Structure 1
């Protein structure tokens, strides 16, 4: 492996692959080493709970690059390799084979891992998490064989997995601790849309419940018991109760860690030669004026490009608004911006929520914090402009579909 002139990337997912791509695109001709603990070359994760899981997209479409790309661009891709330690002072990393290798710059793109469900029976066979390609393959097989499943957790992974299971003809009971799925993320007004979407597609939705245990026979899950004693039989159980950043390496190495690796707007950690990007990075966002850790595909796609340029000494900062999307049944949506739970005072709907064709805007003091377009397309740019402007927008005009979004910033009644 290359020595201490190398730019090393720990984590060979989409973020790591995009960082390597950017280093080469920016003209860096030194050694680039990309280390990943999976045996698969870098791939994108959204298809694992969407098209690939449903069988509507092919395996080859999930990969970040063709197999020959790494050799052609002189990127040393080492799969099945785990980084076990970092010595920031010595500029070295330790690997699981016992070797130690030097670097000039290090980028951490170690991602995140599913939170385990802390109840008895969580280690039974037939209990599934969804993070890696092998997990998605296992779920596809489960959906072919199962009649009924229980999904624990009403976040994005839980809802997308539920939609895929229903498309495969599987009966689904979805369990959520909060009053509604996505309540913390979207607030009550919009969370109700997703609750209705799933019940309209035959999902048994049980909110405000707690799981006491996963029941099983001969070491294999056969149901879920709730805290009130109710038992829900199932052929398999899917757990989607959140993810945590894989920041243990950084913490042991003495880097500043708080809900991920703390980095500045240049994605530089508390050590000047170590950067972080993607799920693991808790980055200062210049526009929002705070640190933010984003767990979505767009962040893994774009943030490493800034990190790579910063590693090359360029004067850059990451200021893109958070963006994510989902596809469930006949509903497709895009979300642009960021809203803290209870961080807004008004939701304005533009269009028809009942028909699931609308844009929802979250406002605070008349300013648009985020917008979500549902089954309405090609509006991300004007939504982004409304958010980044920081200007007060007349809610009545915002809701008026006869007023083009692009005209709102120039409309009478818009105040700075």
Structure 2
């Protein structure tokens, strides 16, 4: 990475992407005292909003665009932030420091923040373009799904990851029959241990969700342009009224690649969220960022990651000291369960379960030697909070005390 330039109080900051990361960065720049112009470019018609509730509260009718907005629409005008909805960046000219927009105009920048997020991965199979084959990345997606799913309907969810399971739980809450189709032999195969996979499978089954594991989807079939079933590799047809595909996401890093920025499974950045061009930053789902705790680079998809990247970029642009490092974390709400995850299970050689999964309140600690790499806590806030500290501080832990519920997590952390 190049040496950063001195902050310019009159610098025009352009933010491409009005999601959680971009919206937060615009607000933080003002909070941190940046006086220059800020332009926030967003593809959706509404201001930045919280996305995790889309698969939960929005589907169940407990939230809408106003309640999920990061800031009310008036905030942007009141703080002299030029918010431009329904707009997309088409290209970046780094030499001239301009961005070409979808309305044909060109926008000059002094500092540019890429907050372009990630997109749902589509399955390249027959019938993928049928009506009723949906993803869940935006408020519009959630609204379409909510209008489709209900009593007497069957929802097929392709993908047994966290998004798929959250959608399944919300589908059941709406009164629909739900079947989850997962190509691996267990749920959450890429992101969680077998203890958690088995727990969530049993819990969802208790709530009426059915599962097809080891199920390879080869096509969608329909009538009159509307999906009516999912075809599996073994020849079976799973009848349904709607499908949600949740098999992962790919970073929207085309703008960065096309203008010659360094990329690697996302836009490569340093601890200030700065790219290989010192005038350009990347934050949120699109950023491939350092993880000092683990001594590696990684691309993360979570709200805390979006917030941390926004703090880093806004601090650098405003000339403030960088924010302190954080333990990466995320969460998933399903039924009455709150799963809180701290860290990542890199280079793990032992798994320790604290508590009894049958009680619905337990935590799984992933260890490398006597250090905690990650913790997955179900309805167990102390284990999550103290686990975050242990991960960040790289403090050795006594495994016997960690497994003993009679020893509090505060005592374990000490």
| TM-score, with length taken from structure 2 | 0.95
Among 389, 398, 409, the alignment partner of 1:385 is: 389
Offset, 1:145: 6.3
Among 50, 66, 73, the alignment partner of 2:56 is: 50
Structure 1: runs of 5 or more not aligned: 411-416
Alignment of 1:10-49 (within 5 A): 10-49=16-55
Pairing 1:106–2:112 present:
yes
Alignment of 1:10-409 (within 5 A): 10-144=16-150, 147-316=153-322, 319-340=325-346, 343-409=347-413
Offset, 1:95: 0.5
Offset, 1:409: 3.6
SS in structure 2 of the partner of residue 368 of structure 1? strand
Counterpart CA distance in 2 for 1:130 and 1:292 is: 23
Counterpart CA distance in 2 for 1:362 and 1:162 is: 27
Q: 1:280 to 1:318 in 2, by over 3 A?
A: farther
Counterpart CA distance in 1 for 2:86 and 2:373 is: 41
Counterpart CA distance in 1 for 2:179 and 2:286 is: 31
Offset, 1:326: 1.0
1:184-228 CA-partner distances (Å, limit 9, x unpaired): 101222221111111121111111110011111121110011001
1:133-178 CA-partner distances (Å, limit 9, x unpaired): 0100011111136521211001111110000001111111100011
| Equivalent residues of 1:265, 1:317 under 8 A apart | no
Offset, 1:378: 4.7
SS in structure 1 of the partner of residue 34 of structure 2? coil
Counterpart CA distance in 2 for 1:319 and 1:288 is: 12
| Equivalent residues of 1:285, 1:319 under 8 A apart | no
Offset, 1:67: 1.5
SS in structure 2 of the partner of residue 256 of structure 1? coil
1:345-372 CA-partner distances (Å, limit 9, x unpaired): 2221111111210111111212111112
| Equivalent residues of 1:321, 1:338 under 8 A apart | no
SS in structure 1 of the partner of residue 190 of structure 2? helix
Counterpart CA distance in 1 for 2:324 and 2:175 is: 43
Residue matched to 1:413: none
| Equivalent residues of 2:151, 2:175 under 8 A apart | no
| Equivalent residues of 2:271, 2:312 under 8 A apart | no
SS in structure 2 of the partner of residue 354 of structure 1? helix
Counterpart CA distance in 2 for 1:98 and 1:57 is: 35
Structure 2: runs of 5 or more not aligned: 1-9
Structure 1 range deviating more: 142-151 or 228-237:
142-151
1:375-394 CA-partner distances (Å, limit 9, x unpaired): 12355431111112323322
Superposed CA RMSD in Å reads: 1.5
Counterpart CA distance in 2 for 1:20 and 1:354 is: 45
| Equivalent residues of 2:133, 2:245 under 8 A apart | yes
Residue matched to 2:3: none
| Equivalent residues of 2:88, 2:101 under 8 A apart | yes
1:227-269 CA-partner distances (Å, limit 9, x unpaired): 0101111111111111111000000010011111000111110
| Equivalent residues of 2:290, 2:296 under 8 A apart | yes
| Paired residues, number | 405
Structure 1 range deviating more: 382-391 or 395-404:
382-391
| TM-score, with length taken from structure 1 | 0.94
Counterpart CA distance in 1 for 2:104 and 2:324 is: 35
